[in-house]
């Protein structure tokens, strides 16, 4: 097929959104002809990579937008939100010549992974796949009071922005024009349906393959002693790191440490919490480290603690599972589509105290029951091999392309407005 990708964020050797854009583009190019429309900010990194490693067959790029100043502060900046909306509304006009020359069979929006911004490419008269997109998950009401003032304000602004965006006629057209919406979470799938999506599949945006799988030499068969728990996340309010620290405080009798990898604006508040709980000798803030160093610490740990309040997905849980490390997360957002009870613990986000107690119980069980840990460790590695590889994800996308290009081949009695399972076990 000839596939046109819209990947505002896209770049080699990078995580998060740029990593998703790059991974989807390069994996699809192994099977199809792919043309990527991306922001001009990514041009230098992409061309440098191609100069060093050679062009990738069946893959080409076009770059649009001003390289300065809108992208200077990255995707997390406030100004980029407005510019991203503008870029998506203009991209069909800017790239019209490239689209006419490429003659795509199907168009897919890949990044940003956010459902509440419209894409002008949905109106090109070409089968359009919107996603993977997420962002409909919100902090459970019972957890709002656990946030800092800054966190509560941020959540309120985010909620207002989503509400306004859903009233945007252009956004509604994007959802309703799409042959399929690929949602990363159950909540996003429900929002897409309520906005008039014809067909919705749940497929996470992250996966691993040989190039990203942790090297077998880095994977330890048994956890280190003393026991070690890992947190790996940006230190921001909705990642639930405060919950991990409070749960760890309930395990004082265990010979264990908690290592926190990452940085962000909540670091000082988290350190204040650590001091208040008298855990300064057992909680270690590692900051940013080299990936290989992180994998060594991860693979020898008891569990990854990831009680994120509204995470669309990401690699952190899948990478932990690939190393045989069980994951403790909430039954919410992307992690709930990646982890199951066989390879970790999924906790219902009823209330903060409930989650903290359940996390502490999970930490205690995994530390004191080696047989249980070994069982979940093996199940975690198997889950990644079976459900979270790029091959399985691309299989899912291809099935959506075929259905979008040849809609008459659908079952005659099938409902078009439905939440369906993905063609592969990658979705729910």
Q: Which of 236, 237, 204, 184 is nearest to 321 (CA)?
A: 204
Contact 163, 138 (CB under 8 A): no
CB-count exposure of residue 106 (10 Å: 0-12, 13-18, 19+) = buried
Q: Give the per-residue pLDDT at 68.
A: 58
> In whole angstroms, what is the distance from residue 298 CA to residue 220 CA?
9
What is the C-alpha separation between 103 and 126, in angstroms, rounded? 9
pLDDT digit string, tens, across residues 193-217? 999 998 999 888 878 765 555 655 4
CA 289 to CA 260: how far, in whole Å?
11
* pLDDT-above-70 percentage for the chain: 89
Instruction: Report residue 67's pLDDT band, with 50, 70 and 90 as the boundaries.
Output: low
Please list the residues that pair with 182 across neighbouring strands: 201
pLDDT at position 422 over 70: no
pLDDT digits (tens, 9 = 90+) for 78-132: 677 788 889 999 999 999 999 999 999 999 999 998 888 999 999 999 999 998 9
DSSP three-state, residue 336: helix
List the one residue out of 240, 236, 239 whose CA is nearest residue 352.
240
Band of pLDDT at residue 305, cut at 50, 70 and 90: very high
Q: Residue 410: its pLDDT value, please? A: 55
Residue 398 or 17, more confident: 398
The token duo for 61 is 């790029």
d(CA 207, CA 388): 5
In tens, the pLDDT along 126-154 reads 999 998 998 887 777 777 777 777 777 87
pLDDT at 421 exceeding the cut of 60: no
What pLDDT shows up at residue 425? 33
pLDDT at residue 214, as a whole number: 60
Q: Residues 72, 42: contact at Cβ < 8 Å?
A: no
Q: What is the DSSP string of 45-62?
A: HHHHHHHHH-PPTTEEEE
Enumerate residues 6+ apart whose C-beta is below 8 A from 159. Answer: 138
pLDDT at 353 over 50: yes
| Distance separating alpha carbons of residues 423 and 179, to the nearest angstrom | 15
- Distance separating alpha carbons of residues 301 and 306, to the nearest angstrom: 14
Q: Is 228 left (phi over 0), alpha (psi -120 to 50) or beta?
A: beta
Q: Is the pLDDT of residue 301 over 90?
A: yes
| pLDDT, average across residues 309-330 | 88
The answer to whether the beta carbons of residues 186 and 202 sit under 8 Å apart is yes
Model confidence at 415, pLDDT cuts 50, 70, 90, reads: very low
pLDDT in tens, 249-292: 999 999 999 999 999 989 999 999 999 999 999 999 999 998 88
> What global pTM score does this model have?
0.80
Q: How confident is the model at residue 31 (pLDDT cuts 50, 70, 90)?
A: very high
Cis bond before residue 112 (omega within 30° of 0) = yes
Q: What number of residues does the chain have?
A: 428
pLDDT value, residue 291: 83
Q: Look up residue 360 and give its two tokens.
A: 């502490």
Q: How far apart, in whole angstroms, are the C-alpha atoms of residue 159 and residue 107?
A: 29
Query: Which DSSP helix (H) or strand (E) runs through 131?
Result: strand 128-133
Report d(CA 356, CA 245) in Å as an integer.
Answer: 9
Return d(Cα 186, Cα 275) in angstroms, integer: 37
pLDDT of residue 14 exceeding 90, the answer is no
Give DSSP secondary structure letters for 408-422.
GGS-TT--SSEEE--
Task: Quote the Cα angle for 50-53-59, to 5°.
Answer: 45
């Amino acid at each position: 097929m000839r596939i046109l990708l819209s990947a505002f964020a896209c770049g080699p050797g990078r995580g998060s959104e740029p990593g998703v854009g790059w991974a989807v583009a390069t994996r699809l190019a192994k099977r199809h002809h792919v043309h990527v429309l991306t922001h001009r900010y990514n041009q230098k990194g992409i061309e440098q990579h191609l100069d060093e490693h050679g062009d990738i067959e069946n893959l080409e790029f076009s770059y649009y937008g001003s390289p300065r100043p809108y992208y200077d502060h990255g995707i997390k900046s406030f100004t980029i939100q407005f510019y991203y909306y503008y870029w998506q509304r203009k991209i069909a006009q800017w790239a019209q010549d490239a689209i006419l020359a490429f003659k795509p069979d199907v168009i897919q929006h890949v990044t940003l992974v956010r459902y509440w911004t419209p894409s002008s490419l949905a109106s090109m008269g070409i089968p359009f796949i919107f996603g993977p997109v997420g962002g409909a998950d919100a902090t459970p009401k019972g957890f709002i009071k656990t946030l800092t003032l800054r966190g509560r304000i941020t959540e309120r602004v985010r909620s207002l922005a989503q509400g306004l965006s859903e009233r945007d006629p252009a956004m509604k057209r994007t959802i309703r024009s799409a042959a399929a919406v690929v949602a990363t979470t159950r909540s996003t799938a429900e929002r897409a349906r309520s906005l008039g999506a014809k067909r919705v599949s749940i497929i996470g945006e992250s996966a691993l393959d040989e190039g990203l799988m942790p090297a077998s030499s880095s994977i330890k068969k048994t956890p280190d002693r003393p026991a070690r728990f890992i947190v790996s996340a940006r230190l921001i309010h909705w990642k639930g790191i405060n919950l991990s620290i409070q749960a760890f405080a309930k395990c004082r009798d265990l010979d264990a440490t908690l290592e926190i990898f990452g940085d962000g604006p909540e670091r000082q508040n988290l350190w204040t919490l650590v001091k208040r709980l008298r855990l300064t000798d057992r909680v270690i803030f590692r900051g940013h480290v080299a990936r290989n160093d992180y994998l060594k610490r991860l693979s020898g740990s008891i569990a990854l603690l990831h009680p994120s309040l509204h995470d669309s997905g990401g690699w952190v849980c899948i990478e932990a599972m690939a190393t045989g490390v069980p994951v403790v997360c909430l039954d919410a957002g992307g992690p709930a589509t990646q982890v199951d009870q066989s390879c970790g613990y999924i906790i219902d986000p009823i209330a903060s105290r409930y989650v903290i107690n359940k996390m502490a119980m999970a930490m205690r069980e995994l530390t004191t029951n080696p047989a249980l840990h070994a069982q979940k460790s093996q199940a975690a590695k198997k889950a990644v091999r079976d459900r979270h590889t790029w091959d399985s994800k691309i299989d899912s996308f291809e099935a959506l392309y075929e259905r979008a290009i040849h809609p008459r081949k659908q079952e005659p009695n099938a409902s078009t407005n439905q939440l369906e399972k993905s063609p592969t076990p990658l979705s729910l």
